[in-house]
Amino acid sequence: MTAESLHASATKLLETWSPATAPEASLREAMLAFLGSAPRGCLREHAPGHITASAVVFSHDGREVLLTLHPRVGRWIQLGGHCEPGDETVTDAALREATEESGIDGLVLDPELYGAQAHPITCSLGVPTRHLDLLFRVTAPAGAIPVRSHESTDLRWWPVDALPANAEVLLR
């Protein structure tokens, strides 16, 4: 991983993304401004905030979405996390995170940006920060059985039209 390759990939993803709504367009501009002022803004060490890689994992037929009950956040959310050594791009980080957190091999990631979100959080740095999530759509193979990792309180498939009440996930 290099700070430069991650920064370049995040910038390119945001520059080529066509947000669906005005709030997303505003968030896109804010994230680009952030990256313009933070050359190391894709690294966890950047305490004021950092780009994170998220994956909205759909079943092979698109009828279900895989969510994790995050122990720190306390809500059902998409899979994802920090960029790590070995991730050359944010896309690489999203696929790695989805595979690690789901236990599913053979996931297929759409390389176009699916969406973006910003969340205040106290992450592994131990201080309040902000996660600037770049989201990707990922499709699981038919018959995929998720295996919960140590990063999750629970992990399960949910029908896209019957999500849990406290779910926080972008669906299109």
> 91 near 171, Cβ under 8 Å?
no
- What is the model's pLDDT at position 118? 95
- What is the model's pLDDT at position 1? 58
Residues of the chain scoring pLDDT < 70: 1, 125
- What is the model's pLDDT at position 152? 83
Structure tokens at 163: 């999500």
- What is the model's pLDDT at position 144? 97
In this predicted model, what pLDDT tens digit does every residue of 39-74 receive, in sequence order? 999 999 998 999 999 999 999 999 999 999 988 788
- What is the model's pLDDT at position 125? 67
Q: Fill in the amino acid letter for 168.
A: E
